[in-house]
Amino acid sequence: MIMLLAVLNTLFLIASSGYGDNHGYPVPEKNDKLMFYIQRNHNANTIIYDAIFDEDGNLKKDEPIDVYWKRYEEENQRMELRIIEKWYAYGVKCSKVDGESNLFKVSLVADKSRVFWLKQLSPFKAMVITNINGKLCKLDHIYIYADESGFWPKVKYIELFGEDIQTSSKVYEKLEID
């Protein structure tokens, strides 16, 4: 009976987790450059994280990720991040892993505690890997919910969506922020 309750509880959590639910927002077109994206409760505009490859299909060593806005609310135009957004919110810092020709350590400037890895799989193909709910996963997207009633937005929770590297099953984690 306890096992049945545990299974039902897990199924309920998965069903209610909203995996893949983009809160009614448009989903960026999937392609080999798109590593992941971030959406927020503020509006449908989305932050895109694309891989940058050289002419041979290798990740650029000095700047392997291009971060920019997809302004869905303004005719889907591309817009570069503002300086303050790069430094404090959505920017990334990438460093080549010594001895590994196709692996970078990636940190989001807003959350240096979580480790992300950018791994080249083949020419013109790469993925971002992180730990989601205790599993090593290919990151698909992040959703950030913030209270914007004050001077600065205050993040209430973050949702991570990915795919288990071993099983290809969908993985979800919700992180409540104090």
Whether 19 contacts 174, CB under 8 Å: no
pLDDT score of 173 more than 70:
yes
Residues 6 or more apart whose CB falls under 8 angstroms from that of 37 comprise 28, 46, 47, 48, 49, 70, 141, 142
Predicted confidence band at 22 (pLDDT cuts at 50, 70, 90)? Answer: low
Q: DSSP strand E in 41-153: where?
A: 46-51, 65-71, 77-80, 92-96, 103-108, 111-122, 125-132, 135-147
How far CA 14 is from CA of 11, 70, 171, in Å, comes to 5, 29, 9
pTM for the full model?
0.85
d(CA 172, CA 178): 20
What is the percentage of the chain residues whose pLDDT exceeds 90?
Answer: 72
pLDDT score of 14 more than 50:
no
d(CA 178, CA 29): 33
Residues 6 or more apart whose CB falls under 8 angstroms from that of 83 comprise none
Token output for 168: 């290809």
Mean pLDDT of 123-152: 94
Ranges 34-38, 107-111, 120-124: which has the least confidence: 107-111
